[in-house]
Amino acid sequence: RTGARVERLPLSRFTTLGVGGEAEVWFVETHEQLREAMEQPYRILGGGSNLVIADEGVPERVIRLSGPLAERDLTPDPHLSEDPWVVTGWVGGGVPLPGLIRQLQKLGLSGLEGTVGIPAQVGGAVWMNAGTRYGEMFDGLHTLEIVTPEGTRQVTPDDLSWGYRDSGIPRNHVVTRVRLKLRRAAPEEVLAKMDFADQARKGQPKMKTPGCAFKNPGGVSAGKLIDEAGLKGSRVGNALIAPEHANFIVNLGGATAADVHALLGLIRERVPVPMELEYELWP
Ligand code: FAD
Ligand code: EPU
């Protein structure tokens, strides 16, 4: 045994929706512990901000990157950095994104500020190339380290076929750490861009939610389509299609995964345009 901490825990505790039954959670701090955890069927849990987890939980091991895999070294690498570009040391997949974005702003490092307000971990945000209209994770990546049961490899964004909300990395390939490639800029300039991007969130609900339910089909706002179908305010059990923005389903308190699934079904039934789900449903 490699000494990873393993505990049976309710996953609701780890999700922004506040829903999800129990599973065996593996807190892995080293590559060795990660490899051991991957010897049996597993899932990767990041910030839990894009997940709808069944009330029964999941039978697989749930891996959470912790300790050194949730630490960051933002020191510019002297061999890879060339003014005005800075390539950082390694940033762990388990690092919370919002704190990282604030830290980069203070250091005057520009490139990722468009992702302000995304409540993810770095690994989860990279895995799905989280973003907003003002920028996405792949705007600031130099190298990615990816671990699979077959081994560890390093890739660059050019090696992947990434796009809107998609890194091209297969599910269950773990983004353990990344090096960032950023541009030196005045901290005030970075802050101004962050504030501007944040304005777009003013109309988003403040309640427990896993973010937008559907990807925007062909650049059209899925929220607008759901709104036009007259579905704002629809409620099943304790889940509600937010009156503020129709692509957000919120937990009014005590919602179940089944409530959320029912609302997703209603949206699919009523919106005439096919839309791809953005959430991940477990199982
Ligand atoms: P999780 O939800 O934990 O997991 C999501 C997927 O990523 C799962 O498949 C999981 O296995 C995988 N994963 C997690 N960590 C890793 C890893 N280290 N390696 C490989 N795979 C991994 N998203 C946007 O894109 N733009 C937004 O503007 C936005 N706004 C949001 C606002 C709110 C209030 C909320 C709650 C969510 C919002 N989201 C937004 C959705 C969510 O934050 C993103 O999808 C985010 O990328 C999810 O990251 P996570 O770490 O929480 O991943
Ligand atoms: N709109 C409506 N009704 C609604 C929702 C939106 O009419 O219920 C209209 C708005 O008035 C606006 C347009 O649709 O004219 C676009 O809305 P918004 O600015 O909210 O942007 P969005 O396309 O709905 C996207 C991302 C968000 C991201 C924001 C801001 C997707 C699926 N959504 O929303 O990302 O925060 O832009 O950049 O790409 C997420 O991915 O989870 C997410 C929250």
CATH number of the domain that residue 233 is part of: 3.90.78.10
Q: Which atom of ligand 2 is nearest to the CA of 244?
A: 8
Asked if ipTM goes beyond 0.90, one says: yes
| Whole-angstrom distance, CA of residue 144 vs CA of residue 163 | 16
CA distance 257 to 243: 20
| Whether residue 33 is found in the same domain as residue 101 | no
Domain that holds residue 29: 5-68
Q: Is residue 12 part of a domain?
A: yes
Q: Does 41 share its domain with 139?
A: no
Q: Evaluate: CB of 144 within 6 angstroms of ligand 1.
A: no
Please work out whether the CB of residue 20 comes within 6 Å of at least one atom of ligand 1: no
Q: Please give the positions annotated as active site.
A: 165, 212, 278
| Nearest atom within ligand 2 for CA of residue 215 | 32
Judged by its nearest atom, the ligand closest to the C-alpha of residue 212 is 2
DSSP helix/strand/coil, 85: strand
Instruction: Take residue 60 and report the two structure tokens written for it.
Output: 């697989």
In this structure, the answer to whether residues 141 and 78 fall within a common structural domain is: yes
pTM above 0.80, yes or no: yes
Are 82 and 49 in a shared domain?
no
Task: Return the closest-CA partner of residue 60 out of 104, 111, 20.
Answer: 20
Looking at the fold, whether 120 and 140 belong to one and the same domain comes out as yes
Q: What is the C-alpha radius of gyration for the chain, rounded to an integer number of angstroms?
A: 19
Q: State how many domains the chain has.
A: 3
Per-residue pLDDT tens digits of the chain, which is 283 residues long: 899 999 999 999 999 999 999 999 999 999 999 999 999 999 999 999 999 999 999 999 999 999 999 999 999 999 999 999 999 999 999 999 999 999 999 999 999 999 999 999 999 999 999 999 999 999 999 999 999 999 999 999 999 999 999 999 999 999 999 999 999 999 999 999 999 999 999 999 999 999 999 999 999 999 999 999 999 999 999 999 999 999 999 999 999 999 999 999 999 999 999 999 999 999 9
Which ligand has the nearest atom to the CA of 230?
Answer: 2
Query: Do residue 51 and residue 86 come from a single domain?
Result: no
Distance CA 16, CA 247 (A): 16
**45, 49, 126, 209: which to mutate for ligand 1, most atoms within 8 A of CB?**
49
Q: For residue 207, give the ligand nearest its CA.
A: 1
| Residue 104 in domain | yes
How far away, in angstroms, is 63 Cα from ligand 2 center? Answer: 31
